[in-house]
Amino acid sequence: MKRLGRAEFDRLLNALTEVGYELIGPVMRDGAILYDSIAGVRDLPVGWTDAQEAGQYRIQRRDDQALFGYVVGPHSWKRFLFPPNQTVFSARRTDDGFVLETPPVDGVRRALIGVRACELEAIRIQDRVFLEGPYLDTAYQQRRAMLFVVAVNCGQAGGTCFCASMKTGPKAHGGYDLALTEVLDADEHYFTVDAGSPAGKEVLDRLDLPEASGAECDAAAAAVARAESQMGRSLDTDGLKPLLDRVLDGRHWEAVGQRCLSCANCTLVCPTCFCSTVEDITELDGGARRERRWDSCFDGEFSYVAGGSIRQSTASRYRQWLTHKLSSWHDQFGSSGCVGCGRCITWCPVGIDITQEAAALRVADAAEHDG
């Protein structure tokens, strides 16, 4: 384990730039902490944090100068691997007919700075979706191969976080090139740094950092333990899949359907949701292109087949989302589709809470069987 002083943090970013990576990290914009291109520490949300509850998100000042003193914002890292809009192919008219062209991936090597443990698990889940199924997404594969991941173990939890109960955080366990833990006390501000891949070790060797002392490693572990004790939510996953399989016709779905706006915010901010649709666009010169864009199971037309939509009510669409996320995802991909980041709770305009809904369904199921 190495020690990186706060004053040396730009050395790490510069080292990544020198070996050819574009830096993507947290920035403060439009009243939120988002992910975008950065050039150095000056672009990070230094000394800022986020306060989150169901349907509520506010950024506010901290009483220190932490670089990563926030939790997660409305962006997830999936937008850099699975873009919101992507041209699948284009058709160009020639004298001999049409020529189909597949646009190349941009070829940019990106270093993601500040990836949380829950987000690492989300990337692993999307890897299974796009890379390990019967159909390989080659564009995703190319972007993924050019990625360098700098994880940051959480030193605090948010009001809607429940990664501890999902066993996805707050400490990163693999899936990163470098993992940092930020430590602030009255006298010092530093990071412990661990390499998780040959590429990460190569960058770490370039920095020639000193070893972290035992006391510094203990302080880092204590910061992560403190975050685990601060979780604002929890989700009881014991027997949850068979329970959800039993309650598909329960009355509770109608109750939550009365509140849900079908706005799709939960799916758009979710780091694992992967629904998409395609649209064919014609050009005035006779050419055409096919665009893939994010879609949502909350869209009334998403389940449209010949004759109409399969899920016409909001209640049926919410049931599809929650049961897929927490139940049938296991059948498809061998894990839950939820990583406990809490985004769907924070960014729901009416504050619908997936942990509360799962608990309510458990109560309703118990009442039915007791009766």
Report H helices in 73-194: 117-131, 138-145, 163-166
Confidence category of residue 369, pLDDT binned at 50, 70, 90: low
Same structural domain for residues 206 and 308? no
Note the pLDDT of residue 162.
98
Same structural domain for residues 197 and 310? no
Give exposure, 225-258, as e/b (b: 16+ Cβ within 10 Å): eebeebbbbebeeeebbebbeebeebebbeebbe
Distance CA 158, CA 184 (A): 18
User: Please, what is the average pLDDT of the chain?
Assistant: 94
Q: Looking at the domain assignment, is residue 288 inside a domain? A: no
pLDDT in tens, 311-357: 889 999 999 999 999 999 999 999 999 999 999 999 999 999 999 99
Q: What pTM, to 2 d.p., does this model score?
A: 0.94
What is the DSSP secondary-structure string of 32-86? EEEEEE--SGGGS-TTEEEEEETTEEEEEE-SS--SS-----S--GGGGTS-SEE
92-101, 150-159, 272-281: range with lowest mean pLDDT: 92-101
Q: Is residue 163's pLDDT more than 70? A: yes
Q: Looking at the domain assignment, is residue 257 inside a domain? A: yes
Q: Looking at the domain assignment, is residue 95 inside a domain? A: no
- Would you give the DSSP letter of residue 341? -
Same structural domain for residues 206 and 305? no
Select from 132, 234, 226 the least CA-distant residue to 184: 226
Same structural domain for residues 223 and 266? no
Same structural domain for residues 62 and 129? yes
Q: Is residue 370's pLDDT more than 70? A: no
**Looking at residues 73-93, what average pLDDT do you find?**
94
Confidence category of residue 304, pLDDT binned at 50, 70, 90: confident
**Looking at residues 221-232, what average pLDDT do you find?**
96
Distance CA 301, CA 312 (A): 9
Q: Which domain holds residue 189?
A: 2-86+106-229
Same structural domain for residues 22 and 136? yes
